Amino acid sequence: MSTNHPLSIAICALASVLLGMCIAVRPASAQQPSTMSASPPTFATIGFHDVVDAKSELDDDAVTADRLVGFFDWLRGNGWTAVSLDDIARAGRGERALPAKAILITFDDGYRSLYTRVYPLALAYGFPIVAALVTDWMGPSSGSMVRYGSRMVPRERFISWDQAREMQRSGLVEFALHTQALHGEVVGNPQGNTMPAAVTRSYAAGVGYESEADFVATVRIDLASGRATLLRELRRAPRALVWPYGRYNATGTRVARDLGFEFALVLDEGPSSLGQPFRMARYLPTYNPPLLDLVRNLQPDPNERRVDRLVCLDPEALWTGDEATNNERLGHAIERVRALGVTGIVVDAVRRNAQGQITAAWFPTHELPLAGDWLSRIAWQMHTRAGVKVYARLPHRAALEVVGDEARVRRLYDDLGALVPLDGWVLEDTQVPTLPHFDGPPPLFVHRPGIPLSWSAWVVRERRQSMLPALGQGDGFDALGWRAFAALDAARPGLELVWLAPTRATTAAHPLADISLAPAGFGDPIADSRIAPVDPTLTRWFTGAEPPDAQVLARKAMDFERHGGVSLGWCPDDPVADLPGAAVVAPAVSASVFPVRH
């Protein structure tokens, strides 16, 4: 497209006021770095959606035009270089290094503002853009309606194919597939919860859950059809896939590779890595963040301390067999979790008897009797209504004892990962492995003295992923535990690992765990004479035979914080009887006020 386009002239006038000039800047592919050794292994990626003029037009994911202009100005004035997928592909092949401050700018959904606001800015600043399209939203004729999530919107909310072709001709806009029809939700359990279609096996009354084979076929047909549509309309097959809602799994990744995609963009935390083209992490700006937040999230602090407040939940406490009563109890449990201000729940995935033996599962599986198809409902409601993370507790040693075969244990975890929307899993009865080939933080990681490496979620994740194949080898119980985690992580990539230390004598966090639980009794001293202050990487996990007394727990929590402790949790807990009392405990434990709830 000619730079004399009226939209370009208009935006250049705006940029002249803001910048003092309007300069056509070549994309990074035209810039020659001095040496290949200067190339960083990571780069920033940001995922915008709609761009509006007035705050009254904002939704959760939109930003105002003035905020976007300010962000582009900041990138230009602070040495950042907007890169294209061509730049990333070349860098990945070792042909040309990325600039030291490289950023991939993406826009999802193909809103009309992509053409009216984003495209002119791309022309004015010379910034390459990756735009993700849902092909089903592009097809209907003008004047018709399009299903967008749970509501119908005018077709004109999205760009046209003619506008897409014009933007593509400019050389600055490359289009990615955002699926054909999977940018929506399907029913994912008997209770009717709707979940992201691209990663959920659908449930139908009288039929049950979609089979793994049917789910794979659904994803394959959708991606192949969407890819064919973009090829037909734009004369270029998309090389990038942007997963709806950032949700993805190993099944979808395999299908995308098979179909010829080269990149997949998600919403994982941290920087994107050249070594992970099918898991390109992105920062998603929400609620029209100020420039300071946009900037801070481009280079998130790898040493930022996470604050966890965890409480356990036994599904048995909420299960009566009567759906109405079940949901009433679950509703009360959700409100109590909100009142407590916790960040996550540790929920039992199986029913166990007084001797600790597994007797049934709270999710459908051929490997165990079904106590009730209840875990998926709890997990989804807690995540969406209470805003907390859900960590499943399914001990691999106890599972092996009851099913008697490692292949069946693997299938048990396959079923758990496929059917329950989890955020993490509790690894139990496992020792800390040695890290013989871990030589420190990866490139670009700046470690602050006195603050442990494990504060960085993505550093822990990368370290863990690199070691999983070795950890899962062998026939020991530890190896079985790591294979169980690998099975869950394949179904729910980005799964957090919670390590439950085997003894109260634990003094250090697990180097491969996101959260390390150090068991403690309420009579134990908070500060060990050998450690001063309390190790902030450990989460104090208060346990006992009965739910703790509210006053005692509150005193222990405040004492723990005074000695330098950061994260804590307790088990058991009684959500029905409200034990310990939320009103008493919350002021001392709530992560909403200490120091900030993430």
Within-domain flag for 328: yes
Interatomic CA distance for residues 343 and 341, integer angstroms:
7
pLDDT of 3? 42
**pLDDT grade for 20, boundaries at 50, 70 and 90:** very low
Write down which residue in 298, 326, 358 finishes a domain: 298
Average pLDDT score over the chain: 87
Which domain, by its residues, includes 347? 309-589
Write the DSSP symbol of residue 446.
Answer: -
Write down which residue in 273, 298, 323 finishes a domain: 298
The C-alpha angle 77, 80, 82, rounded to 5 degrees, equals 120
Within-domain flag for 581: yes
Within-domain flag for 57: yes
Q: How far is CA 361 from CA 69, 313, 375, 397, in A?
A: 53, 15, 9, 15
- 318, 293: one domain: no
- 500, 533: one domain: yes
Minimum mean pLDDT among 20-24, 37-41, 241-245, 255-259: which range?
20-24
In the predicted structure, residue 9 carries a pLDDT above the cut 80: no
- 316, 428: one domain: yes
Of residues 453 and 222, more confidence is placed in 222
pLDDT of 302? 63
In the predicted structure, residue 177 carries a pLDDT above the cut 50: yes
Residue 10: CB atoms within 10 Å: 12
First to last CA, the chain: 44
> What 3-state DSSP class applies to 34?
coil
- 225, 370: one domain: no
**pLDDT grade for 593, boundaries at 50, 70 and 90:** low
- 189, 148: one domain: yes
> What 3-state DSSP class applies to 368?
coil
Minimum mean pLDDT among 31-45, 227-241, 404-418, 474-488: which range?
31-45
- 248, 355: one domain: no
Q: What are phi and psi of 102, to 5 degrees?
A: -105, 140
| Per-residue three-class SS string for 62-129 | CEEHHHHHHHHHHHHHCCCEECCHHHHHHHHCCCCCCCCCEEEEEEECCECHHHHHHHHHHHHHCCCE
Number of domains in the chain: 2
Asked if residues 107 and 175 have their Cβ atoms less than 8 Å apart, the reply is no
Within-domain flag for 210: yes
CATH number at residue 384: 3.20.20.80
- 171, 86: one domain: yes
CB neighbours of 190 closer than 8 A, spacing ≥ 6? 203, 205, 373, 377
Of residues 407 and 25, more confidence is placed in 407
Q: State yes or no: cis peptide before 533, omega within 30 of 0.
A: yes
The C-alpha angle 163, 167, 173, rounded to 5 degrees, equals 135
CATH number at residue 190: 3.20.20.370
Residues 232-237: what's their mean pLDDT? 98
Within-domain flag for 597: no
Write down which residue in 261, 277, 298 finishes a domain: 298
- 434, 545: one domain: yes
Within-domain flag for 346: yes
In the predicted structure, residue 533 carries a pLDDT above the cut 60: no
Burial class (CB in 10 A: 0-12, 13-18, 19+), 224: middle
pLDDT of 537? 82
- 117, 46: one domain: yes
Residues 46-57: what's their mean pLDDT? 95
pLDDT of 456? 64
> What 3-state DSSP class applies to 325?
helix
pLDDT of 404? 92
β-pair type (194-196, 185-187): antiparallel
